[in-house]
Structure 1
Amino acid sequence: MPQILVDHSAELDFDRTALAAEVHQAITEVIDTTVADCKTLFRPAGGHRVGDGTSGEAAVLVEVKILAGRSAEQRAELTARVLAALRARIAGPAAIGVQVTELDRDTYRFVHHPGH
């Protein structure tokens, strides 16, 4: 169920595999889910701008989508862990944002589509 969307400056060099593994593990420690249920998409952005563009910072924006019903404390803990994982893996200057959002339990659906 958890969906992790990582939008980042295309030129940013970091270990995506290790980041996803750490974030997936953190999610299982904070909410009731499994690593197998976690899905991460890395989406390099062709262009970005931080502030007036003079800082030279890359940009990384992460949204972690989880089913509704978790406490504010759980969501804040998850935000802190994802932010720490990003800071540990990004060597250069970067503007980093992390948001945990909730998926509506009544309308969210997910399937493993076997193809045709």
Structure 2
Amino acid sequence: LLQQLQLQQQLQLKLQLQQQLQLQLQLQQQLQLQQQQPQLQQQRPLLQQQQLQPPPPQHQQRRQRRRPPPRLHEQLQRLRRQPRQRLLRQPQQRQQQRQRQPQRRV
């Protein structure tokens, strides 16, 4: 009995490890793809994800809970937009300051 229990536990552990490894691999592939083709992914993120991952449904559910891909994408785009806006705002302020200073001097 003890031996059987131990064997079962070992098997379960192995299965878990395999699943984790699969998940990691998929995530790595996603990351690589994102880095290689950022433009393509922006245009059609959903298409690529569907093509890349037809794994069993359980995995998909887990992955969606962890990080839902389209939302992540929106966040990324927002993050990209924000620094541009900041950069745009800063030089305007500087110009205004420059303009104000000579007026005061004169």
Q: Normalization by structure 2: what TM-score? A: 0.32
Considering fraction of residues, name the structure with more helix: 2
Considering fraction of residues, name the structure with more strand: 1
Structure whose CA Rg is larger: 2
Q: Normalization by structure 1: what TM-score? A: 0.30
Q: Larger relative CO (CA 8 A, sep 6+): 1 or 2?
A: 1
